[in-house]
């Protein structure tokens, strides 16, 4: 097999999209797991902080699952569907008052990436 053909298969749009989605959601999950309320704001109830951290841990696992989709496509598709649901949750949470524009933009971008990934895989 020629090197150009091999590189063409490794750097296909599907491979790049899968890598982008996996890295995006792993980073978003790490940020959510490390979530802390700024000191100047009133602390939210503990269940809110815990739910954000749990969602972050699940997001990391799903991001890893999307990455594992290279070897086992069914795992990648299932993780992508879970990421769509987690992105909807994050988008709704960011849109509730007080609206956090930065989080809303990141959540919407994550939703678009996850939906595009599912459409590309399906």
Q: What is the pLDDT of residues 4-48, one digit of tens each?
A: 565 666 677 778 888 899 999 999 999 999 987 777 777 778 888
Which is nearest to 67 in space by CA: 16, 8, 29?
A: 16
Query: Minimal CA–CA distance to 91: which of 75, 72, 106?
Result: 106
Largest CA distance in the chain: 61
pLDDT for position 54: 93
d(CA 73, CA 2): 26
pLDDT, residue 3, reads: 57
Residue 46 included in any domain: yes
Q: pTM score, two decimals?
A: 0.83
109 belongs to a structural domain: yes
Q: Is residue 3 part of a domain?
A: no
41 within a domain of the structure (yes/no): yes
57 lies in some domain: yes
In a domain, 89, yes or no: yes
Whole-number Å distance between alpha carbons of 78 and 122: 11
Please state the domain count of the chain. Answer: 1
Residue 23 domain-assigned (yes or no): yes
Residue 9 maps to a domain: no
Domain that holds residue 22: 15-121
Number of H helices, E strands in the chain: 5, 0
Quick: pLDDT tens for 65-110: 988 877 777 788 888 899 999 999 989 988 888 778 888 999 999 9
The pLDDT, as a whole number, for residue 74 is 79
């Amino acid at each position: 097999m020629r090197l150009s053909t091999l590189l063409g298969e490794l750097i296909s749009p599907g491979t790049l999209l899968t890598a982008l989605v996996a890295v995006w959601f792993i980073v978003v999950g790490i940020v959510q797991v490390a979530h802390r309320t700024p000191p100047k704001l009133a602390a939210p109830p503990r269940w809110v902080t815990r739910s954000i951290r749990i969602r972050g841990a699940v997001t990391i696992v799903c991001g890893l699952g999307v990455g594992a989709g290279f070897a086992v496509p069914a795992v990648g598709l299932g993780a992508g569907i879970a990421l769509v649901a987690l992105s909807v949750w994050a988008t709704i949470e960011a849109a509730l008052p007080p609206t956090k524009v930065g989080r809303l933009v990141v959540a919407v971008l994550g939703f678009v990436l996850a939906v595009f990934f599912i459409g590309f895989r399906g």
